């Protein structure tokens, strides 16, 4: 999630697109991913949540240039690990436009259109919230096939400093109308807001096609409530931190699971209980010692989806290929019916 001024946003957008154009689908890959400790295992994978518009993929960290833009390299590593599709998360109207532009540069990239709970003050800052909503809808309507979900939207009561509860509630509710009008599934965020989230979901569930609650960190009871609403559960590194997380994850039926990275956030850290199940390691360097064919330490990226799959397979005691196929099928069922 980033906030930039208009001109820097335009430069930023151009730079990202430039970086992507250099890596169009049919060009030969200049570099093969080198894994430490084994060869890549090829499963059918989709990353349903990647914030590829984040400045970190341009080498910018808190406004400081630490290395060259490397989104093309990041994408090559993603395809090399077996990712078939990546959904780029849109977090506001402007961000959704950038995400869509990026998605248009590659057949395997898709994007979402919506406003993140922590950014819902954008509706009011725009002076015309209804127009803002209308613009979101036009963006989705005019780009069917590339825009595959309404979101990221929902509620985040852990970060009320960015947007008060009432504003979050108001504009989460308004975004159901986008999901209803477009009949696109929803890419949902719910943090420390389970009861309000379920109440609104119950109210609107019959009008929308469905959705996935991404970055799930709730309890097994909360997971059940969401599954009973017909929703899918998105698991990333943040969902695999504690024993309680693993327990809740295991309670989700296989046919309701999806996986994601939420890159550049939510990587599986050594302190996470899930970390001990990792089988694949990638060559890495610190951000100020960037090196070609190396990931950047502490910056998550879509290729790390393999880590999420490895932990799920080990903890749920399910064959990794079968699990990957089942999750792929779930994703196809919701987003590409």
67 vs 189 by CB, closer to Zn ion: 189
43 vs 189 by CB, closer to Zn ion: 189
Q: Quick check: 119 binds Zn ion (CB under 5 A)?
A: no
Candidate ranges 141-149, 182-190, 264-272, 325-333; the one touching Zn ion (CB under 5 A): 182-190
Q: Whose CB is nearest to Zn ion?
A: 189
In angstroms, what is the minimal distance from the CB of 215 to Zn ion? Answer: 5
The residue within the footprint of Zn ion, chosen from 189, 272, 299, 307 (CB under 5 A), is: 189
* Residue 152 annotated as part of some ligand binding site: yes
Cα(290)–Cα(24) distance, rounded to whole angstroms? 23
Cα(80)–Cα(35) distance, rounded to whole angstroms? 11
69 vs 235 by CB, closer to Zn ion: 235
Candidates 82, 49, 91; CA nearest to 260 is: 49
For 102, half-sphere exposure in the C-beta direction (CA atoms, 13 angstrom radius) is 30
Q: Quick check: 97 binds Zn ion (CB under 5 A)?
A: no
In angstroms, what is the minimal distance from the CB of 57 to Zn ion? Answer: 18
Candidate ranges 11-19, 215-223, 235-243, 319-327; the one touching Zn ion (CB under 5 A): 215-223
Task: Determine how many CB atoms are found less than 10 A away from the CB of residue 100.
Answer: 23
DSSP class of residue 213?
A: E
215 vs 313 by CB, closer to Zn ion: 215
Structure tokens at 176: 């159901």
Check: CB of residue 237 under 8 Å from CB of residue 300.
yes
* Residue 262 annotated as part of some ligand binding site: yes
Structure tokens at 198: 């379920």
**Count of residues that interact with Zn ion, criterion CB under 5 A:** 2
Which residues are at the interface with Zn ion (CB under 5 A)?
189, 215
Annotated binding site for a divalent metal cation: 152, 189, 214, 262
């Amino acid at each position: 999630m980033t906030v930039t001024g208009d001109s820097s946003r335009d430069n930023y957008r151009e730079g990202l697109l430039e970086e992507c154009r250099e890596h169009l689908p049919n060009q030969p890959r200049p570099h093969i991913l080198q894994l430490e400790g084994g060869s890549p295992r090829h499963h059918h994978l989709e990353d349903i949540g990647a914030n590829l518009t984040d400045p970190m993929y341009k080498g910018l960290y808190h406004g400081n240039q630490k290395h060259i833009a490397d989104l093309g390299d990041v994408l090559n590593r993603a395809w090399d690990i077996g990712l078939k599709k990546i959904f780029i998360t849109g977090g506001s109207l402007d961000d959704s436009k950038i995400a869509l532009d990026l998605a248009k540069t590659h057949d395997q990239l898709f994007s979402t259109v919506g406003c993140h709970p922590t950014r819902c003050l954008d509706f009011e800052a725009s002076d015309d919230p209804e127009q803002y909503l209308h613009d979101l809808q036009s963006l989705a309507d005019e780009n069917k096939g590339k825009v595959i979900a309404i979101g990221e939207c929902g509620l985040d009561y852990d970060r009320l400093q960015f947007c008060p509860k009432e504003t979050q509630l108001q504009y989460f509710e308004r975004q159901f109308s986008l999901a209803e009008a477009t009949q696109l599934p929803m890419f949902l965020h719910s943090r420390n807001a389970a009861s309000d989230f379920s109440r609104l979901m119950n109210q609107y569930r019959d009008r929308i096609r469905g959705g996935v609650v991404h970055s799930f960190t709730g309890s097994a009871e909360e997971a059940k409530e969401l599954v009973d609403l017909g929703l899918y559960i998105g698991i990333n590194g943040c969902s695999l931190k504690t024993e309680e997380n693993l327990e809740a994850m295991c309670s989700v039926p296989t046919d309701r699971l999806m996986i994601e990275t939420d890159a550049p956030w939510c990587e599986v850290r050594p302190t996470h209980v899930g970390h001990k199940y990792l089988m694949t390691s990638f060559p890495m360097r610190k951000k100020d010692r960037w090196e070609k064919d190396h990931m950047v330490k502490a910056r998550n990226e879509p290729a790390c989806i393999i880590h999420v799959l490895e932990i799920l397979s080990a903890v749920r005691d399910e064959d990794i290929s079968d699990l990957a196929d089942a999750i792929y099928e779930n994703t196809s069922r919701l987003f590409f019916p």
